[in-house]
């Protein structure tokens, strides 16, 4: 009988797929099993029932045209009562999950501004989990949990965020792309003015003071125009304006020194 039967072992937290003449016959639970090979029985393979994790990195663009990398962490496992579906229906489970994650994130994030992407990451994760749950259940898999673990804007946007925080440490401003584009335009305009004033004999310090004060008052105007903001009082005398320019310039210099 030893020549007629073959004993196989199935480890804990896994199952094995038994076939007869190439046709699925049964799912073998953990333990020792005999396969009469002379009757056409064979082991097609093993399937792990353990919880698995897949991190998916997806690049997309927000509503206000900022490119971001969104990293989603997917926790999933095969279902024991649907082991045959999980084994036969998908060639590459991880690739299939990744495709669904890409589809949901690239459908959700472009509807939101950059600020809203950070604020609504739980809603994005829930949308991914719901879509994956419906799709993967047909293949014998359960989506246990989905998390958005990182949202990383474009490097130029991150640098602009750091500069804004350095200039206004006590009043952090919104990181909307529209405001960052305005800041970039103002920076380009400042460089243009600087070149002109240099030709006219005006010092670079005088030009930068003028640009910094202009940006400061523009920011105060935007804060005052926001729907949830209260009235903002700012000093307006000549000496106070000089102090504002000094504080902003010192903040930028300190930020540059820490880089």
Q: Is residue 198 part of a domain?
A: yes
Residue corresponding to tokens 């400061």: 216
- Summarised one tens digit per residue, pLDDT across range 187-214 is 666 666 667 766 666 666 666 666 666 7
Q: Contact at 8 Å (CB) between 72 and 123? A: no
Instruction: Output phi, psi for 79, to 5 deg.
Output: -95, 130
In angstroms and rounded to an integer, the radius of gyration of the C-alpha atoms of the chain is 30
pLDDT category at 17 given cuts 50, 70, 90 is very high
Query: 164 with 234, same domain?
Result: yes
Q: Specify the 3-state DSSP secondary structure of 8.
A: strand
Q: Looking at 90, 123, 153, which one is the last position of a domain?
A: 153
Query: 170 with 249, same domain?
Result: yes
Q: Looking at 132, 153, 174, which one is the last position of a domain?
A: 153
Question: Higher-confidence residue: 239 or 220?
Answer: 220
What's the rounded Cα separation, in Å, for the pair 133 and 27? 23
Query: 66 with 145, same domain?
Result: yes
Query: 36 with 59, same domain?
Result: no
Query: 104 with 136, same domain?
Result: yes
pLDDT category at 8 given cuts 50, 70, 90 is confident
- Summarised one tens digit per residue, pLDDT across range 140-172 is 999 999 999 999 888 777 776 666 666 555 555
State what percent of residues in the chain have pLDDT above 70. 59
For the record, the structure tokens of 183 come out as: 């800041």
What's the rounded Cα separation, in Å, for the pair 87 and 239? 76
Domain total of the chain? 3
Average pLDDT over residues 93-107: 93
3-state secondary structure string across 75-138: EEEECHHHHHHHHHCCCCHHHHHHHHHHHHHHHHHHHCCHHHHHHCHHHHHHHHHHHHHHHHHC
Q: Is residue 192 part of a domain?
A: yes
**Element (DSSP H or E) covering residue 186:** helix 177-200
Domain hosting 190: range is 155-258
């Amino acid at each position: 009988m030893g020549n007629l039967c073959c004993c196989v072992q199935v480890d804990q937290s896994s199952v094995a797929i038994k076939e007869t003449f190439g046709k699925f016959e049964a799912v073998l639970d953990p333990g020792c099993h005999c396969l009469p090979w002379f009757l056409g029985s064979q082991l097609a393979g093993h399937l792990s029932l353990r919880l698995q994790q897949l991190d998916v990195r997806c690049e997309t663009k927000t509503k206000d045209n900022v490119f971001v990398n969104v990293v989603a962490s997917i926790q999933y496992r095969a279902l024991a009562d649907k082991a045959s579906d999980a084994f036969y229906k998908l060639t590459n489970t991880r690739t299939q999950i990744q495709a669904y994650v890409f589809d949901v994130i690239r459908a959700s994030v472009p509807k939101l501004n950059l600020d809203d992407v950070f604020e609504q990451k739980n809603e994005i994760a829930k949308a991914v989990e719901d879509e994956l749950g419906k799709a993967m259940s047909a293949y014998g898999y359960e989506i246990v949990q989905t998390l958005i673990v990182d949202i990383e804007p474009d490097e130029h946007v991150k640098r602009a965020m750091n500069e804004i925080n350095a200039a206004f440490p006590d009043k952090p401003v919104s990181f909307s792309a529209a405001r960052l584009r305005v800041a970039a335009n103002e920076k380009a305009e400042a460089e243009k003015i600087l070149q002109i004033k240099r030709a006219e004999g005006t010092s670079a310090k005088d030009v930068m003071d003028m640009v910094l004060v202009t940006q400061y008052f523009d920011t105060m105007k935007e804060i005052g125009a926001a729907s949830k903001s209260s009235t903002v009082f700012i000093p307006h005398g000549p000496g106070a304006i000089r102090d504002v320019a000094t504080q902003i310039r010192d903040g930028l210099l300190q930020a540059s020194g820490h880089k």
